[in-house]
Amino acid sequence: MKKFTTKSLEEELSAKLMLHFGKTAEEALPGEMMRACALTLRDVMALREVETRRKTRKEQKKQVHYLSLEFLMGRSLMKNAYNLGILPQLRQALENMGFKAADIFEIEPDAALGNGGLGRLAACYLDSMTTLEIPATGYSICYELGIFKQKIVEGQQVELPDNWKDLGAAWLLPKPAEAQEVRFGGKVREFWDNGHLHIIHEDATVVQAVPCDMEIAGYGTEHVNVLRLWDARSTKPVDMSLFSRGEYLKAAEEEAMAETIAKVLYPEDNHVEGKSLRLKQQYFFVSATMQSIVAKHLETCGTLHNFHEKNVIQINDTHPALVIPELMRLFIDDAGMDWDEAWRITTQSVAYTNHTVLAEALERWPQDLFSRVLPRIWQITLEISRRWQEKVEDFYHDPRKTEKMAIVWGGEVRMANLCIAGGMAVNGVSGLHSEILRKDVFRDACGMEPWKFRNVTNGIDHRRWLSEINPRLDSLIKELTGGDEYLLHPQALKKLDAFADDRTVLDRLAEIKLANKRDFAAHAKKTRGVILNPDAIFDVQVKRLHEYKRQLLNVLHIIALYQRLQDDPNAITQPHTFLFGAKAAPGYAVAKRIIHLINSLADQIDHDPICKDKLQVVFLENYRVSLAEQLMPASEVSQQISTAGKEASGTGNMKFMMNGALTIGTLDGANVEMHQLLGDENMFLFGLHSDEVEQMKREGYVPQRIYNRSPVLSRCLDALRNGFRDGVRYDDLYQRLLFGAGGSPADEYLLLADFDSYCQASDRVVRTYADPVQWNRMSLHNIARSGVFAADRAVAEYADNIWRVPHRK
Ligand code: 26W
């Protein structure tokens, strides 16, 4: 395989510029250069991909198919160059050709085909599956618009379309020859012929699914996998047969529907609405995917009887749950298998990961919508449901359990129960979360089939989230651990623990953090006009805006600090900067109010001379993968403050930890496991535990009592009502916390209950920061023990325990 040198890269880039844009390097625009880079790297990856595929087929290896409605890929140029081992050469080639390498990397838009944690997890796992040399393919929709771009106008979120494909499509390789047809609506007719039942799907609307492949290079391997993104096309530009029969509207309707299917990513995170377009998106990508997997399997093996031995379908939450009835349809209707065998193979092929326990995020589809849009899938789902219900009745003889575990019930189709019934494994994403699934959310199912329930604690791509984005820390780690072992064996980070008493090492850590903070401050100034003081504590909460994540708790504490400063201008000696980044789902009014509040508070503090060089609040507009990459290396405090029991895992927490930030957090999600590794002495824990949260709710929680008892808290809350210098009042938020509103109980997420404990933990943070040796030592321990949170470890667990596929060790 050809290995690039700076020189050969320059030649290759010049050739691409000439062939594709008719330009020399001197004439080329940065965007054109970025595309030339993509084309160059794609050539290498394409060759390797063909070779990987050839081997997989020849040796009939078992393959993993990772289905997700979301892949939050971010940028690819630096990542691919890094994994291919040519990042330094590419940088140099770009500089030699008269470009600033950083500008070329910066011009690439994020491929933001996801909302948050679940989508980014899928992207990290693609990297690890490839690096571990597992034959794997990711499948999703080629959304024309990714997650919206956020602008803050007068303190409020405004959503703008994210047209990522102009430049982003540079990574996509359309494969029209592998298109599939997906059928919606219409009627199902059954007839018997020769003792065989035949199913005819009539008058269906047919949408064409065209795959666009994005190649995924692994690190330190020639193995290349693919992310297959399905684009939706109308089968014919205009259906002339319908047209000539005078059914103009229907003809136009089909075209319009086909085009809307892949138009836009749903921006709701942890909240479902039974929208017909969303159901169509799910079936569209599931059906296209399963048809192509089944066809390829038949090509290589000539039979479907061993399908489950050669394929495993991992579904990322319930969003692709329709794989279960769709596989049954392909086996029964198309391949003529009987029900029992089809069910046996299906249930040995599919595995389901749950990512949330929030009731409003558990998918349920209205039965009338489901049966109208997917008539054949509905018939099959109903039969699955009937048989499952029989099994539950036989096992429990308890109508309450039958109801709870039912798939079709009360006019709805419950997707989580479908996944439990039709899958071989169900896993949560952290120890605590999996325990809550077993003991609470899926308790009855677990009682019946305990072997299905597992845990795989999430992980992140440590090569991207540490090595690539934090080169200073990467160098130090390599120097101290004796080489680049940690890149493929993240547990080698453990060796850093041995330097806990080495003052020069601790000083160097501090220097690195300061340099990263300066870089971030310079970047923030250049791109946003924000002035940051690099000597302040960089205290960061970045994640989707949701009440359970409790950004509002952070705000309340900052208001308390601000009021302390009003009383005593010397109350703060250490400058403290609170950074927020968060997108709110466009329809989530409360979340948008909290964004407004953060901006009102930021403005208030900005204009108060007392706060100068003491207290600052910054809302970072349009938080996204590429911004996270700038921010993580510069962060010092990581806010992970969700109500215990609600955050399934968190993965931002891991990114911060790996970059040496210290966590202030509750015992929730993966924080629990971080705490087991770090002990009380290396993180700042506070708040109720998940069982205490449950107990408090059972016993009747009355936030007003806490308000009445705590003068500090009541003063903070009153400040919300009275509003800020921009004239905006937040009485609505005050009301929500004290009395409840819109059907939700007062202070649903127990901010008031945890307020005191949070303030104390925050004071500990500041006191500890005043002792740099101790702080840096804690930071060192955090980095050293973050190896388990590498995606490589998580993917190896999936491979060993669920997928049963071999992998590189
Ligand atoms: C259909 C609307 C919708 C969209 C996305 C409902 C639910 C989701 C996801 C399940 C929300 C999500 O991203 N969950 C997050 O998944 C991460 C990866 O496992 C976890 O680390 C986070 O704790 C969890 O909130």
Q: Are 149 and 159 in contact (CB under 8 A)?
A: yes
Question: The domain spanning residue 231 has which CATH number?
Answer: 3.40.50.2000
Domain, as residue range, for 94: 1-59+78-105
CA 356–ligand 1 middle distance (angstroms):
6
| Alpha-carbon gap, residue 285 to 700, rounded angstroms | 45
Question: How many domains is the chain built from?
Answer: 3
Q: Which of 118, 550, 749 to mutate to test the pocket of ligand 1 (most atoms within 8 A of CB)?
A: 118
Tokens matching residue 722: 């009275």
- Nearest Cα neighbor of 749 from 541, 545, 543, 548 is 548
CA 317–ligand 1 middle distance (angstroms):
8
| Alpha-carbon gap, residue 683 to 378, rounded angstroms | 50
| Alpha-carbon gap, residue 640 to 254, rounded angstroms | 46
Residues 352 and 416 in one domain: yes
Q: One of 130, 131, 651, 666 is an active-site residue; which one?
A: 651
Active site residue 55: no
Encoded amino acid at 166, one letter: D
* Residue 95 to residues 54, 102, 142, 282, 336, Cα–Cα distance (Å): 37, 10, 33, 44, 61
Residue 246 is predicted with a pLDDT of 74
Q: One of 297, 655, 781, 807 is an active-site residue; which one?
A: 655
- Range 493-516 average pLDDT: 98
Residues 572 and 659 in one domain: yes
Q: Is residue 429 lining ligand 1, measured as CB closer than 6 Å?
A: yes
Residues 357-399: pLDDT tens digits?
999 999 999 999 999 999 999 999 999 999 999 999 999 999 9
**pLDDT class of 430 with cuts at 50, 70, 90:** very high
* Residue 246 to residues 152, 237, 251, Cα–Cα distance (Å): 49, 16, 9
Active site residue 651: yes
Q: Indicate whether 1 pLDDT > 60.
A: no
* Residue 155 to residues 308, 541, 728, Cα–Cα distance (Å): 53, 18, 10
C-beta atoms surrounding 666 within 10 Å? 31
Q: Is residue 116 lining ligand 1, measured as CB closer than 6 Å?
A: yes
Question: Where in 40-135 does DSSP place strands (E)?
Answer: 63-67, 71-74, 111-113
Q: Is residue 272 lining ligand 1, measured as CB closer than 6 Å?
A: yes
- Range 150-159 average pLDDT: 98
Tokens matching residue 521: 């401050």
CA 177–ligand 1 middle distance (angstroms):
34
Give me the long-range contacts of 607-615 (CB less than 8 A, separation at least 24): 607/725, 608/562, 610/565, 610/566, 610/569, 611/562, 611/565, 613/533, 613/536, 613/575, 614/565, 614/572, 614/573, 614/575, 614/576, 615/558, 615/561, 615/562, 615/565, 615/572, 615/575, 615/576
Nearest CA to ligand 1 atom 6: 270
Active site residue 549: yes
Q: Where are the alpha helices (DSSP H) in 482-619?
A: 485-488, 503-528, 551-567, 589-606
Q: Is residue 292 lining ligand 1, measured as CB closer than 6 Å?
A: no
**pLDDT class of 747 with cuts at 50, 70, 90:** very high
Q: Is residue 585 lining ligand 1, measured as CB closer than 6 Å?
A: no
| Alpha-carbon gap, residue 310 to 308, rounded angstroms | 5
Q: Are 409 and 367 in contact (CB under 8 A)?
A: no
| Structural domain contains residue 473 | no
CA 539–ligand 1 middle distance (angstroms):
24
Residue 195 is predicted with a pLDDT of 80
Residues 520 and 390 in one domain: no
CA 578–ligand 1 middle distance (angstroms):
25
Tokens matching residue 21: 């844009």
* Residue 314 to residues 125, 198, 262, 290, 322, Cα–Cα distance (Å): 12, 30, 22, 12, 12
CA 637–ligand 1 middle distance (angstroms):
23
Q: Are 134 and 189 in contact (CB under 8 A)?
A: no
Residues 132 and 92 in one domain: no
Residues 145 and 51 in one domain: no
Nearest CA to ligand 1 atom 1: 272
Residues 449 and 385 in one domain: yes
Q: Is residue 669 lining ligand 1, measured as CB closer than 6 Å?
A: yes
Residue 257 is predicted with a pLDDT of 79
Q: Is residue 268 lining ligand 1, measured as CB closer than 6 Å?
A: yes
Q: Which of 317, 671, 795 to mutate to test the pocket of ligand 1 (most atoms within 8 A of CB)?
A: 317
Paired residues of 141 in beta bridges:
230
The H or E element spanning position 227 is strand 224-234
For the chain, what is the mean pLDDT? 97
Cα–Cα–Cα angle for 638, 640, 646, nearest 5°? 165
| Structural domain contains residue 667 | yes
Q: Is residue 317 lining ligand 1, measured as CB closer than 6 Å?
A: yes
| Structural domain contains residue 466 | no
Residues 418 and 519 in one domain: no
| Alpha-carbon gap, residue 125 to 120, rounded angstroms | 9
Q: Are 233 and 262 in contact (CB under 8 A)?
A: no
| Alpha-carbon gap, residue 515 to 82, rounded angstroms | 22
* Residue 154 to residues 106, 322, 723, 728, Cα–Cα distance (Å): 27, 43, 15, 11
Residues 537 and 632 in one domain: yes
- Nearest-atom number in ligand 1 for the CA of 268 is 2
Residues 97 and 165 in one domain: no
| Structural domain contains residue 469 | no
Q: Is residue 121 lining ligand 1, measured as CB closer than 6 Å?
A: yes
- Range 652-670 average pLDDT: 99
Active site residue 404: no
CA 363–ligand 1 middle distance (angstroms):
12
Encoded amino acid at 44, one letter: V
Residues 558-590: pLDDT tens digits?
999 999 999 999 999 999 999 999 999 999 999
| Structural domain contains residue 467 | no
Residues 452 and 522 in one domain: no
Percent of the chain with pLDDT over 90: 95
Residue 193 is predicted with a pLDDT of 86
Unique residue bearing structure tokens 């500090």: 712
Q: Indicate whether 329 pLDDT > 70.
A: yes
Percent of the chain with pLDDT over 70: 99
Q: Indicate whether 238 pLDDT > 70.
A: no
Encoded amino acid at 729, one letter: R
C-beta atoms surrounding 31 within 10 Å? 16
Model pTM above 0.85: yes
The H or E element spanning position 182 is strand 180-184
DSSP string, 716-750: HHHHHHH--TTS---HHHHHHHHT-BTTBPTTTT-
Q: Is residue 427 lining ligand 1, measured as CB closer than 6 Å?
A: no
Q: Where are the alpha helices (DSSP H) in 262-364?
A: 276-301, 307-310, 323-329, 339-347
| Alpha-carbon gap, residue 124 to 121, rounded angstroms | 5
Q: Which value, in Å, is the radius of gyration of the alpha carbons in the chain?
A: 27
Q: Where are the alpha helices (DSSP H) in 302-410?
A: 307-310, 323-329, 339-347, 367-373, 375-396, 399-405
| Structural domain contains residue 493 | no
Residues 693-705: pLDDT tens digits?
999 999 999 999 9
Q: Which of 275, 356, 432 to mutate to test the pocket of ligand 1 (most atoms within 8 A of CB)?
A: 356
Nearest CA to ligand 1 atom 13: 118
Residues 424 and 540 in one domain: no
CA 263–ligand 1 middle distance (angstroms):
21
635: burial class by Cβ within 10 Å (0-12, 13-18, 19+)? buried
- Nearest-atom number in ligand 1 for the CA of 433 is 23
Active site residue 544: yes
Helix, strand, coil abundance in the chain, percent, nearest 5: 55, 15, 30
Residues 195 and 87 in one domain: no
Active site residue 296: no
Q: Are 355 and 316 in contact (CB under 8 A)?
A: yes
- Nearest Cα neighbor of 636 from 602, 660, 618 is 660
CA 355–ligand 1 middle distance (angstroms):
5
Nearest CA to ligand 1 atom 9: 270
CA 124–ligand 1 middle distance (angstroms):
15
Q: Where are the alpha helices (DSSP H) in 350-488?
A: 367-373, 375-396, 399-405, 415-422, 431-436, 443-448, 462, 471-481, 485-488
Paired residues of 189 in beta bridges:
200
Q: Indicate whether 432 pLDDT > 90.
A: yes
**pLDDT class of 2 with cuts at 50, 70, 90:** low
Q: Are 687 and 675 in contact (CB under 8 A)?
A: no
- Nearest Cα neighbor of 70 from 24, 138, 7, 133 is 138
CA 269–ligand 1 middle distance (angstroms):
6
Residues 58-110: pLDDT tens digits?
999 999 999 999 999 999 999 999 999 999 999 999 999 999 999 999 999 99
| Structural domain contains residue 477 | no
| Structural domain contains residue 362 | yes
Task: Kindly report the length of the chain.
Answer: 809
Q: One of 233, 297, 549, 557 is an active-site residue; which one?
A: 549
Q: Is residue 356 lining ligand 1, measured as CB closer than 6 Å?
A: yes
Q: Are 673 and 434 in contact (CB under 8 A)?
A: no
115: burial class by Cβ within 10 Å (0-12, 13-18, 19+)? buried
Q: Is residue 72 lining ligand 1, measured as CB closer than 6 Å?
A: no
Q: Indicate whether 630 pLDDT > 90.
A: yes
**pLDDT class of 236 with cuts at 50, 70, 90:** low
- Nearest Cα neighbor of 461 from 67, 794, 11 is 794
**pLDDT class of 274 with cuts at 50, 70, 90:** confident
Q: Is residue 63 lining ligand 1, measured as CB closer than 6 Å?
A: no
* Residue 676 to residues 650, 656, 672, 704, Cα–Cα distance (Å): 16, 17, 6, 34
Q: Is residue 651 lining ligand 1, measured as CB closer than 6 Å?
A: yes
| Alpha-carbon gap, residue 349 to 67, rounded angstroms | 13
Encoded amino acid at 421, one letter: A
Encoded amino acid at 358, one letter: L
Which range among 226-240, 403-417, 476-490, 599-613 shows the weakest confidence by mean pLDDT? Answer: 226-240
Provide φ and ψ at 453, rounded to 5°.
Answer: -95, 120
C-beta atoms surrounding 294 within 10 Å? 19
